[in-house]
Amino acid sequence: MGAATVRLDPAFAVGPVRPRIFGSFVEHMGRCVYTGIYEPDHPEADELGFREDVARLVRELGVTVVRYPGGNFVSNYRWEDGVGPKADRPTQLDLAWRSVETNQVGTDDFVDWARGVGVEPMMAVNLGTRGVQEAIDLLLYCNAETGTSWPDRRAKNGHVEPHDVRVWCLGNEMDGPWQMGHKTAEEYARVAEETARAMRRVDDTLELVACGSSNRGMPTFGTWERVVLERCFDLVDHISAHAYYEPLDGDVDSFLASGEDMHRFIESVVATADHVAAVKGSDKRIMVSFDEWNVWFQDRFHGESSLAIREAPELIEDVYDVTDAVVVGSLLITLLQHTDRVSMACQAQLVNVIAPIATRPGGASWKQTIFHPFALTAQHARGTVLRPAVACDTVETKAFGPVDQLVVTATHDPGTGDLAVFVVNRSRTETAELTLDVAAAVGGTPTAYALVEHLQVHDDDTSASNTEEHPDRVTPHAGDAAVGGTDRTTLTATLPPTSWHCIRLTEGTVQ
């Protein structure tokens, strides 16, 4: 058992909590859309065919923005096939996931669903098999006032008012040879530049996301970002980053330290973007859109070529355990730690496909273990992200060397005085005895604090998971945190191995 000390001071702030960090991702892949968010024959389907039981879980999860319609899917998608009367929509072959796409859910349907569950739509355009013209057509269809052909078609399809989609992704993972229409950095940079310039002719207030690297291990990583931003720097606001994590070769210690890889990824992208800014003599700061991230057991997936062509196949429906939930919680901490440069992030995906929500066709929906750290962080991270001073033991990892046993972030809401502290114990064997010093948390003046709650995701059986039969096998439960000291500015808590924690405090006393 090791001692760990964390000190908080509002003078050491990273930046504001950005609500879009709590984003998600809906792709036409597997059962994410069909029998996921959409199932018109389900007993709880609404008038548009979307599952209300799933919608309730999405709201509880606290998702703020959802990226759509892909993902690899978007790079061979004809968006026109997904609008208009459903009976007239063509059935197509999706090359990305070798699936039959019925197009019963498309642009208008997704925006209706997003508005209904209270999330912001984030739209991607096909720069793989299509290009500038199709992107502009979709933008006009979504955002233009009636009076020209595309918005008039939207009105004819039942949406007179513009959808007003503000965030647009300029393609998806175009550095990946698995992508339909894969391009070199130079090829992608040119089409992204042309598309961005044309989109800004329609609306210069849009937020545009250029494709960054699909992962930090790509052979073009770094060079890709530089080449793309050299051409697109003045036209885009964000550059994307994608990363998925799993215990490679059974290396659970490195898996629990996945946040180290995400941290290095973000730092490298920021350094490259700022290098381009320096060369251009610009004060502009490109932000990182980490719009795909999660735990994904890719070693269990045998590739797209192995898939039988059919409609809404069961595809990478990973079941998550306690360890996976702790990793997801640590990745959320890492994103918050970089709130000064990470503008938004999307956990991929929302339902069924490597997702926090699982469903059975015609039946139940339930929360996977990874649901809980996301929901609690999204609910309680408010105000300003603080940079804690942490002193703790280290854990030896094969991938990253020695890393801190604890990964910590905290948020302070100056309006209410509330503090939320998020902590992961990354050791599989050692408990940490935490001492949290909040004496300087409000203006440097010692302020009495009261504990609101201490919730943890932990189980002695780290392989425990939630299922349809046992949907609450793993849920957050109370920890032992307590506030003490004569001035009530010190908190102590026991953090067991492989655990995630949300500790909430408020000024004064709790009645």
Q: Which residue, 341, 457, 452, is CA-closest to 18? A: 341
Q: Enumerate residue ranges in the chain where pLDDT < 50.
A: 443, 510-511
Token readout for 180 is: 């339909």
Instruction: Give the per-residue pLDDT at 510.
Output: 46
- Among the listed residues 173, 194, 207, 225, the single catalytic one is 173
Neighbours of 304 (CB within 10 A): 14
Instruction: Give the per-residue pLDDT at 317.
Output: 96
How many whole angstroms separate alpha carbon 331 and alpha carbon 261? 10
Judge contact between 75 and 171, C-beta under 8 A: yes
Pairing outcome for strands 490-495 and 482-484: antiparallel
The sign of the CA dihedral 127, 138, 293, 104 is: negative
Give, as one character, the DSSP assignment of residue 445. Answer: S
Instruction: Give the per-residue pLDDT at 484.
Output: 81
Judge contact between 395 and 405, C-beta under 8 A: yes
**357: Cβ contacts below 8 Å, ≥ 6 apart:** 36, 54, 57, 58, 61, 350, 351, 365, 366, 367, 368, 371
Q: Which residue, 318, 322, 422, is CA-closest to 369? A: 322
- Among the listed residues 80, 193, 260, 292, the single catalytic one is 292
How many whole angstroms separate alpha carbon 394 and alpha carbon 239? 33
How many whole angstroms separate alpha carbon 387 and alpha carbon 439? 15
Judge contact between 25 and 67, C-beta under 8 A: yes
How many whole angstroms separate alpha carbon 295 and alpha carbon 327? 8
Instruction: Give the per-residue pLDDT at 145.
Output: 98
Would you call 292 a catalytic residue per the annotation? yes
Instruction: Give the per-residue pLDDT at 303.
Output: 72
**Domains located in the chain, CATH noted:** 2-11+384-507 (2.60.40.1180), 18-380 (3.20.20.80)
How many secondary structure helices (H) and strands (E) does the chain include? Answer: 10, 27
Q: Is 314 helix (H, G, I), strand (E, B) or coil?
A: coil
Q: Which residues pair with 289 in a beta bridge?
A: 240, 344
Judge contact between 228 and 184, C-beta under 8 A: no
Instruction: Give the per-residue pLDDT at 449.
Output: 82
**71: Cβ contacts below 8 Å, ≥ 6 apart:** 25, 27, 28, 29, 96, 124, 172, 292, 348, 349
Instruction: Give the per-residue pLDDT at 185.
Output: 98
Q: Is 477 helix (H, G, I), strand (E, B) or coil?
A: strand
How many whole angstroms separate alpha carbon 37 and alpha carbon 365? 10
Would you call 173 a catalytic residue per the annotation? yes
Burial status of residue 461 (CB atoms within 10 A of its CB: 0-12, 13-18, 19 or more): exposed
Supply the pTM of this predicted model: 0.96
Neighbours of 497 (CB within 10 A): 18
